[in-house]
């Protein structure tokens, strides 16, 4: 019976995760059709993706804390319900404004499911099976990354952009049903033994959300900050003030959004640092490489999508394998191995030229994705295992926060590096200026920027190795301390 409960929780989280990943890939494919349908310009249409991501990032910490207070399964099932309702709203949107509002509501639901899914799995599985469970979830991430663009492209071609949302409804319905079943059988491992429900820290939620929003907006719009002299000063002072207020509040409040003492657990804090650096040094690849394939090498969008599949498949397989092996042999060696392979893939990509072969690109992408798959499961297991059971909702939310925020700033980094390199060589610092019709030398300038962008990402992943070595050292010192007692 315990086993059936355990895998019921896993199924609910795995299907919810798959829905989230496939949604991201399919919506990206549908953006041109959405833009044409509503006669909106591209910058406006891109907010269909941006508002969803920003909502998730802003709400992850508050939703994680709510899960710890009210129950992981309760908040997770509510998130599934909100996602289902918002997806129906998106599918029948009569205007771009209604669609954007639906995407914000989808972001609210996704923050609840993403923030608490991993905590539910960790709290349900015994310690010697946690890596395996997280690894299997990584398999669903890899499968979703493969299915998303293909699934979305097929539906858009056959039925139009609304079909992207409608096609996700059956899976969301199944995920909601499983989540409700999990809650009904009492599979909720938050601190239910507390004598009373703790108050929710609204001040902490507002200040943390506002600070994260400003940081994300500033990091993704460096050009705007540079063009307006007063904006960087205003943004920096506002962010600093919000962070100071947040820290003071969290240190003094009896039920904070973030228990800052959690960072005294070095296995947790170094693990979070390593995860952020890994995603900061990774996500820009999937933004930049398709542009290189289409504009420089002249391949079609279809070929660009197919080039990602070997890496996504490798991520799916290696994520499951690495999670299972880390349960038996420890997480340290696998996190280092994953980071090293990922950095090697980025260095391979940094040698791309204007005439490189498709095999060169696929090889680099596959190495990079393989490393990510090997890293994620043991890293997440190590972070959450170092967290008290009463704070696992928060810890799970923080893991997803660094993943989402790292992904956002990674895209901003590679764009800035390419634009700066092109500008320094005398060309318009814009990705849109690249193409066969561009001026002589602009392709070389873009490729030079591309190479430096990949080297920058590789450097960040190497820094993640340093953070992981400190994480391993903290675990060793903790074991020595326990043995000496």
Q: Which residue has the higher pLDDT, 108 or 140?
A: 108
- Percentage of the residues of the chain whose pLDDT score is greater than 90: 12
Say yes or no: 176 and 35 in one domain.
yes
Residue 189 pLDDT level (bands cut at 50, 70, 90) = very low
Residue position matching structure tokens 């500033």: 218
pLDDT at residue 351 in the model: 93
Residue position matching structure tokens 């990206």: 28
Residue 197 pLDDT level (bands cut at 50, 70, 90) = low
Last residue of a domain, one of 158, 187, 216: 187
Residue 172 pLDDT level (bands cut at 50, 70, 90) = confident
326-371 pLDDT tens trace: 877 878 888 999 999 999 999 999 999 888 888 999 999 999 989 9
Mean pLDDT of the chain: 79
Say yes or no: 105 and 240 in one domain.
no
Average pLDDT rounded to a whole number, residues 472-485: 68
325, part of any domain: yes
Average pLDDT rounded to a whole number, residues 182-201: 57
Q: Which residue has the higher pLDDT, 369 or 477?
A: 369
Distance CA 61, CA 304 (A): 35
Q: Which residue has the higher pLDDT, 160 or 40?
A: 160
312, part of any domain: yes
CA distances from 191 to 251, 264, 393, 409 (A): 21, 21, 10, 34
Domain that holds residue 299: 259-485
193, part of any domain: no
pLDDT at residue 174 in the model: 87
Say yes or no: 284 and 398 in one domain.
yes
194, part of any domain: no
Say yes or no: 294 and 250 in one domain.
no
479, part of any domain: yes
Last residue of a domain, one of 141, 164, 187: 187
Q: DSSP characters for 342-367?
A: HHHHHHHHTT--TT--HHHHHHHHHH
What is this structure's pTM? 0.77
Whichever domain contains 403, its CATH number is 1.20.1250.20
Average pLDDT rounded to a whole number, residues 136-152: 69
Residue 408 neighbours by CB under 8 Å, 6+ apart: 53, 57, 216, 219, 220, 283
103, part of any domain: yes
Say yes or no: 53 and 118 in one domain.
yes
64-88 pLDDT tens trace: 888 878 877 888 888 889 989 999 9
Q: Which residue has the higher pLDDT, 110 or 230?
A: 110
Q: Does residue 299 have a pLDDT over 50? A: yes
Among the listed ranges 147-156, 264-273, 302-311, which one has the minimum average pLDDT value?
A: 147-156
Say yes or no: 295 and 179 in one domain.
no
- When divided into structural domains, the chain yields a total of 3
Q: Does residue 307 have a pLDDT over 70? A: yes
Locate 216 and state its tokens.
């994300």
Residue 190 pLDDT level (bands cut at 50, 70, 90) = very low
DSSP 283: T
Spacing of C-alpha 229 from chain mean position: 32
388-399 pLDDT tens trace: 777 777 777 777
pLDDT at residue 105 in the model: 92
Last residue of a domain, one of 154, 187, 220: 187
How many beta carbons lie within 10 A of that of residue 460, not counting itself? 21
Q: Count how many residues are written for the chain.
A: 485
Say yes or no: 114 and 223 in one domain.
no
Average pLDDT rounded to a whole number, residues 89-101: 89
Say yes or no: 294 and 246 in one domain.
no
Spacing of C-alpha 147 from chain mean position: 17
195, part of any domain: no
18-30 pLDDT tens trace: 887 777 767 766 7
Say yes or no: 68 and 150 in one domain.
yes
Q: Does residue 188 have a pLDDT over 60? A: no
pLDDT at residue 195 in the model: 39
Say yes or no: 180 and 288 in one domain.
no
């Amino acid at each position: 019976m315990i086993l059936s409960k355990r895998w019921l929780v896993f199924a609910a989280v795995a299907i919810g995760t798959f829905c989230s990943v496939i949604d991201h890939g399919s919506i990206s494919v549908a953006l041109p059709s959405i833009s044409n349908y509503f006669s909106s310009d591209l910058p406006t249409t891109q907010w269909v993706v941006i508002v969803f991501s920003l909502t998730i990032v802003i709400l992850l910490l508050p939703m994680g804390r709510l899960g710890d207070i009210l129950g992981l399964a309760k908040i997770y099932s509510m998130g599934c319900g909100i996602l289902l309702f918002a997806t129906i709203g998106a599918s029948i949107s009569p205007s771009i404004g209604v669609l954007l509002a639906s995407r914000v509501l989808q972001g609210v639901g996704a923050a609840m499911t993403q923030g608490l899914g991993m905590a539910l799995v960790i709290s349900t599985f015994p310690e010697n099976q946690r890596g395996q469970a997280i690894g299997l979830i990584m398999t669903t991430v890899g499968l979703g990354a493969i299915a998303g663009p293909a699934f979305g492209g097929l539906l858009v071609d056959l039925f139009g952009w609304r079909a992207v949302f409608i096609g996700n409804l059956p899976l969301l319905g199944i995920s909601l049903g499983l989540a409700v079943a999990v809650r009904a059988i009492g599979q909720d491992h938050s601190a239910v033994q507390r004598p009373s429900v703790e108050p929710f820290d609204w001040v902490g939620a507002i200040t943390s959300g506002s600070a994260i929003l400003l940081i994300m907006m500033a990091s993704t719009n460096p050009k705007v900050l540079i063009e307006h002299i007063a904006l960087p000063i205003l943004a920096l002072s506002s962010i600093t003030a919000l962070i100071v207020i947040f820290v003071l509040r969290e240190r003094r409040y009896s039920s904070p959004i973030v228990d800052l003492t959690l960072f005294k657990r070095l296995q947790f804090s170094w693990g979070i640092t390593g995860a952020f650096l890994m995603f900061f040094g990774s996500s820009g690849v999937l933004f930049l490489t398709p542009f290189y394939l289409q504009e420089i090498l002249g391949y079609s969008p279809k070929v660009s999508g197919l080039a990602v599949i070997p890496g996504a498949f490798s991520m799916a397989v290696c994520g499951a394998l690495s999670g299972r092996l880390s349960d038996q042999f420890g997480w340290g060696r696998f996190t280092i191995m994953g980071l090293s392979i990922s950095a090697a893939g980025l260095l391979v990509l940094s040698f791309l030229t204007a005439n490189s072969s498709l095999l060169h690109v696929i090889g680099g992408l596959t190495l990079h994705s393989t490393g990510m798959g090997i890293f994620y499961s043991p890293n997440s297991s190590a972070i959450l295992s170092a967290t008290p059971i009463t704070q696992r909702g928060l810890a799970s939310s923080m893991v997803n926060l660094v993943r989402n925020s790292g992904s956002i700033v990674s895209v901003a980094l590679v764009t800035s590096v390419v634009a700066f390199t092109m500008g320094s060589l005398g060309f318009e610092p814009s990705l849109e200026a690249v193409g066969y019709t561009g001026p002589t030398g602009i392709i070389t300038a873009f490729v030079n920027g591309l190479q430096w962008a990949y080297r920058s990402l590789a450097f960040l992943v190497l820094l993640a190795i340093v953070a992981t070595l400190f994480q391993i050292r903290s675990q060793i010192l903790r074991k020595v301390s326990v043995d000496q007692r």
